[in-house]
Amino acid sequence: MEAKIQQAVALLKQALETHGDGLVYPCSMGIEGSVMVDLICRHGLDIPVMTLDTGRLPQATYDVIAAFEKRYGIRVAVIFPDCQEVEAMVREHGVNLFRQSVALRKQCCEIRKVHPLMRALKGKTAWITGRRREQSKGRAGLQAIETDPVYGLKKYNPLLEWSMDDVWEYVKTHDVPYNRLHDAHYLSIGCECCTRAITVGEDERAGRWWWENDEGAAECGLHVMSLKEISGELEDGEGI
């Protein structure tokens, strides 16, 4: 455990030394986010923590944002979608468009997550993620440091080799604030309407967009694609 912590901190320090002000941590406010925020703050690393408020978040997520701010004396940068884009989308397709088709779900993720993330990443050269190898088959082949194939933006994955047990051991040992939905068997936490608890034996990501059968559609899009795809042609992306 201690070796994994040291490795994670070393990668965070490497990212900060390499990218300075160009580095940001977009936090999903899930359990990996708790570990990362604690690692960053405990070690005095000047890495800004940001999160996306899609407008559909559960109250528990706002509560953990507030808990981080109180505990660590930081202000989380909360990034919102463009209100005109959201209004136009809802006017055309309704408030629950994500239930109608995979395409509309991805459109909703694009407008509520991908576009604001792109705006937040403008001028940045690297970002930290909380992805872990064991989270899904799609994440098994990730590397600790990756490069976006189009724009060259680096992605650092300090928790890549951590198991779920490692994550919880860290949180409990250090009494880190965490999203209370995890106590109700939510593993991956996103928008309230698109997240559910999972049962024994289900993949960690099974609690997201569970009504979609296509396995490939179960990634949120912020990480599975290049930034070009994220920004333009669309798709949805990641762990946010």
Positions touching ligand SF4 (CB under 6 A) are 54, 56, 98, 105, 108-109, 112-113, 190-191, 193-194
Rounded-to-integer distance, Cα 131 and Cα 204, Å: 12
Q: Residue 19 or residue 113: which is nearer to ligand SF4 going by CB?
A: 113
Identify the H or E element spanning 49. strand 49-52
d(CA 83, CA 213): 30
The closest alpha carbon to 172, from 45, 44, 234, 164, belongs to: 164
Residue number with CB closer to ligand SF4 (43 or 99): 99
Catalytic residue, from 27, 191, 194, 220: name it: 220
CA 146 from chain centre, in angstroms, equals 16
Measured CA distances, 120 to 22, 94, 125, 135, 207 (Å): 11, 27, 11, 25, 27
Closest CA to 240 of 30, 97, 67, 40: 30
Q: Is 220 a catalytic residue?
A: yes
Measured between alpha carbons, how far is 4 from 104 in angstroms, rounded to an integer? 39
Provide, rounded to whole angstroms, the least separation between the CB of residue 55 and ligand SF4: 8
Compare residues 176 and 189 and give the one whose CB is closer to ligand SF4. Answer: 189
Of the pair 28, 54, the CB lying nearest ligand SF4 is at: 54
Q: Are strands 126-128 and 77-79 parallel, antiparallel or unpaired?
A: unpaired
DSSP-derived secondary structure letter, 103: H
Closer CB to ligand SF4, residue 15 or residue 108?
108
Of the candidates 58, 49, 71, which has an alpha carbon nearest to the alpha carbon of residue 181?
Answer: 58
The C-alpha R_g of the chain, in whole angstroms, comes to: 17
Catalytic residue numbers? 220
